[in-house]
Structure 1
Amino acid sequence: MKELIISSINHNLNNAIALLDAIDLKTYCNASVGPYYSSIGSHIRHTLDFFDCIIDGLDTNDIDLTARKRDEILSTNIDAAKDHIYMLQKTLLSYIDANTDYLIHVTDNMGQGKVTVNYTLESILAHANSHAIHHYATIGYILNQLNVELEVSGFGYNPTTPIKKREGI
């Protein structure tokens, strides 16, 4: 199961690379679309932050999703974001043979303060993948509002979305 999850994540990260290869820096950094006025770069950075929290906390069994790095270079530099994705993919592949027969403590803020719950490595990685897809959908909305047409098949759609509706951006 872990191999399938990591393969799925890497597929979605490859979609991000395809997106980054297809847009220019002005589009990547454009924060003119309401109501949140966030850029594609800020959404890419945010999804990478989520994965970084997992990687950073795994060895100590204390993943804190509120301890994001928020490295603005990833929000403003396409090549840095791509390099970070490649590093992340390599790290994720190293987890395929890792022992995962234990619970991992994951801390997040649910809106009323921090709470720590138990996950497995597979469940936190599946959560991170769904989180990325959610932000990819927002990126699709931003591109639409900027009148930028691209085709990255399935980008921003949950795999359970009916195929007739899952066209990509």
Structure 2
Amino acid sequence: MLLKSIHHSLDELICLLDQVSDHDYTKSCEALSNATIGEHTRYILEMFKCLENGYDSGILNYDYREGNNQIQTETEFAKQCIVEIKMGLKSENKTLYLEKVINGLGIRIQSSYYRELLYNLENGMHHQALIKIAILQFENMAVNEI
């Protein structure tokens, strides 16, 4: 059910990206502190990519996101990344260790792949809701209820 929900959420994002030009994708939205749809999309996708990159080693650090500018400026590239993320989702749960540096001290907390998938799904839904706010500034765009 979790993987199905993630696929559904990412498919909704693809449908949205199918409707937006690269110009609108990179247009600042005042209601979102001048963030863009592309910036929110990049955040969603890079969180999933971090999780995928940490799966084999079992060590995950979301601070090591790539910061790929192409994801936030080109809708076609972002859609390609979504397809790759969907294909890379694993069905087998396993123990992961979430790393974080807080106040100069490194900590490591035990988690699991499914727990982090759920976190990424919830995080993605939050950012997709923010994207919906940005979409409201454009006419003739259909957005599913998030």
TM normalised by structure 2 equals 0.90
- Counterpart position of 1:150: 141
State the partner residue of 1:163.
Answer: none
Alignment match, 1:7:
4
Distance of 1:85 and 1:128 partners within structure 2? 13
The DSSP-based 3-state class of the residue aligned with 1:66 is helix
8 Å CA contact 1:53–1:68 kept in 2: the answer is yes
* Matched AA of 2:144: S
Kindly indicate whether residue 132 of structure 2 is the aligned counterpart of residue 140 of structure 1. Answer: yes
User: Where do 5+ consecutive residues of structure 2 fail to align?
Assistant: none
The alpha carbon displacement at 1:118 in A equals 1.5
Higher helix share: 2
Q: How far 1:42 moved relative to its partner? A: 0.6
Q: Kindly state the Cα deviation for residue 103 of structure 1 after the two structures are TM-superposed.
A: 2.1
- What's the counterpart of residue 47 of structure 1? 44
Is 1:88 the counterpart of 2:80? The answer is no
Q: Which amino acid in structure 2 is aligned with residue 55 of structure 1?
A: E
* C-alpha deviation, 1:142, in angstroms: 1.4
Measured in 2, the distance between the counterparts of 1:11 and 1:110 equals: 34
Summarize the Cα distance change of 1:110–1:41 in structure 2 as closer, same or farther, 3 Å threshold: farther
- Contact 1:64/1:106, CA 8 A, preserved across alignment: yes
Residue identity matched to 1:51:
F
Counterpart Cα distance in 2 of 1:113 and 1:33: 36
SS at 2:121 equivalent:
helix
Q: Say yes or no: does 1:63 pair with 2:55.
A: no
Cross-structure match for 1:129 = 121
Q: Is the 8 A contact 1:62 1:105 kept in 2?
A: yes
| Whole-Å separation in 2 of the counterparts to 1:153 and 1:68 | 28
Q: Structure 1 unaligned segments of length 5 or more: list them.
A: 158-169
Q: Which whole-Å CA distance do the structure 2 matches of 1:140 and 1:43 have between them?
A: 11
- The CA RMSD measured in Å over matched residues stands at 2.0
| Partner SS for 1:133 | helix
Length-normalised TM-score, structure 1: 0.79
Q: Which AA in structure 1 matches 2:120?
A: A
Higher relative contact order at CA 8 Å, sep ≥6: structure 1 or structure 2?
A: 2
The question of whether the paired residues in 2 share the 8 Å contact of 1:143 and 1:149 is answered with no
- In the TM superposition, what whole-angstrom CA distance separates every residue of 1:84-127 from its partner, at most 9, and x where no partner exists? 000111111xx12x3x2x42101246789654321111110000
CA shift for structure 1 position 153? 2.0
